[in-house]
Every structure is written in structure tokens, then in C-alpha cells.
Amino acid sequence: MGARLTQAGRTVVTVFVPLAVPEGHLGGNAEEIRGRIAAVHPRVEAHYELELLPIQRWVADHSGKPRRRTAAGERHWRELLHVTEVALGFPGDSSEGLGDLVRSAPDLRWVQGTAAGMAEQVRRASLSAGERRRIRMTTGSGPHALPLAEFALVGLLAFAKDVDRLNALKARRRWPPRWPMRMLAGQRIIVVGLGTIGREVARLLHAVGCEVEGVQRRATGRVPGVTRLWLLADLSTALSGADGVVLTLPDAPGTAGVVNARALAALPPHAVVVNVGRGTVVDEGALAAALVGGRLRGAALDVTAHEPLPATSMLWQLPQVLLSPHTAALTMHEDEQLLNLFVDNLARYLDGRPLRNLVGFQRSG
């Protein structure tokens, strides 16, 4: 690990927090945050410089509204980057900010990210092979799993209980004859992607009585609550006759457009598609065509291939589509949970133990 020495000869691990500043400052004031990080080990020197950081526009906004720095502030910013060994987040929460951090911090050895999936940001940062070998990156996976699993449950239930039809009837003030609704319990649901989020989805679906099957990119061992495992190469076969599918796949090599017209055609007309992974996984043209043609019951999407979703997208016009502006993962407690994850990982880093949520940089370039 990289390190620097003080004038007294003490080895220092410099930790920099370049995240946007929220109201309450990550669940406490700035001094408390620095204190929590510094308390991990006497060698830790924590920097959380509020006057240099952007301002959060909403809870858990890690990019924030840019703050204009003075010339002196900019010099101080650059000085902090230059001595940083560990970073909680990166400037602007963007690929450009990640690239600037890595190239401005020769002693940088580890970056704790804020998002559950960061492959796309790593690729767009255009890091060299040497830079990827020099640093480790960990994701913010964990705090997002339960909120996204709950959204998946909402999406499946919304169409099982005909919420779109109920809202349309209410808008027209119509009281029609009664009709039977579908039960979620007993449905066969395919969870595509069995990482932290997918496993939480499987847990909740199993708890409400669904028959849960899973699809993985690579074969692993048994997953609690999942009765059968498939490989991603066999996705269309796995989806055949399923009542619903929940997508939790990251944006990674081999996942782009895997839910295409062929895969969607394997689903029956009453099936529901939920995506809480990455929008690039779904062929949105094929999805819209299936919905318009009555070949699917509905779709609940927290993510789309292009965000914000273009005004020209057919998805805006379809009443059987539940759209969320990539907000289902956010909770009022996310910043505090992220800090808890980071403090635990920092202790692991200093002890030489394996880090949680480690990203394989060699697979991300």
C-alpha cells in the first residue's frame, strides 16, 4: 500500500472524501465524519473539506451542484488529491472525476465507490493498464439491495393487481363489474443476476410464496430461496412460460441487449418484466413492441438505456409501463450506510484483509 511520512516520521494513510455535501453531512457534522474515519486507526488522516465540495440536490446525490472554488481553494483541492491514498467516492461521481482522481493522486491505492455497479464508469474513465493495476476499487453494493428488491416486488404486484386498470377506471369515474385478479404467490419468477441485489429479490419473492429460479453469468453454488439455476446463455429457455422476470444485471461485457425480442417471445402474454439493474440489458424497442402487441402484461423499469429517457421513447406512452427515474435505490439512510461500509472496508484495508465489493479492474477495461 502507498503511504507518506510526517515530519515526525509517522506513516500516514491519507483519506479524502470528495463527495457532494448533504444536509447533515453523511449523517453527522463534518467533524464527526472526519472523526469516524480517523478513529479506524491512529495512522489515518481524514480530509472532508466542506468549502471545496459541491452541494447535494437531494438525499444521496453524490455528484451534487458544483461549487465555485477560489484560486486558493483550487490549489488546496489539488494538494489534497496529490497526497490521497484512499478516497471515499470521486469528484462529481462521474467517470471524468474518477479519471482525474487517479491521474492526480500518484499515491492512490483504493477508491470506495458509491454505486452498486461501477463497470461503466471504470471503462469510461479510460484508465491505463498500469493505473488499473495500481488501484483497487470497491462498489457501494449492499445498501441498495433491499430498496431495489422492494421496487421489484411493487412492480410485480402492480400488474398482478391491475393497478394500471384501476387508475384508468378511477380517472373516468367508472365502477365496472368485478373481475378476478392474479395472485403473486405461486407465480414462477426468474431473477436474472444473482449478486447482492438479485439474492435480496429472491429472498423477498420466496417469502411471499413465489417459485423463484435464477439466471447467472457464471455457475455458482446454491442460492437461498432459488429452486433452479440457469446460465445466461440459456436465458430464452429459462424464461419460457415464466410469469415474470426481474433483471438485476450490471452493465458488463456480455449483458448488453440480452433481453431481446427472442427472449421476450419466450414469455407468455400475462408476464411482467422488471428491471432494477442497468437499462442497457434490455432491447427497449423489442420491449415496447411486445407491450403494444399485447404479448406482455407490463413492465416496471427503474432504469433505461439512456437517462433521462428521451421524450421520443414509446415507453412514455404505454399505460402498462411503470417508470421510475432511477430513484428506487435511494433511501434517507443511504449516506449513513455508505459511511458504515467504508469504515468497515478501511479497517480491512489497513489490516491487509480482503475488501468487500471488490471490482476486478482487469475485467473492466
Q: Distance (Å, rounded) from C-alpha 145 to C-alpha 329?
A: 8
Q: How far apart are CA 33 and CA 121, in angstroms?
A: 26
Give the other-Cβ count within 10 Å of 106's Cβ: 13
Give the Cα separation of 274 and 268 in Å (integer).
15
Catalytic residue among 67, 109, 295, 326: 326
Chain Cα centroid distance, residue 252: 13
In the chain, the N- to C-terminal Cα span, in Å, equals 22
Question: Which ranges of the chain does DSSP label H, i.e. alpha helix?
Answer: 30-38, 71-83, 95-104, 119-124, 129-134, 145-160, 163-172, 196-207, 235-239, 261-265, 284-292, 334-351
> Catalytic site residue 326?
yes
Cell of 332: 434517507
Instruction: Please state whether the peptide bond connecting residue 143 to the residue before it is cis, i.e. omega within 30 degrees of 0.
Output: no
Q: Residue 358 and residue 361: Cα distance in Å, rounded?
A: 9
Which of 36, 199, 278, 297 is catalytic? The answer is: 278
In the residue annotation, 278 being an active-site residue is answered as yes
Q: Which residues are catalytic?
A: 278, 326
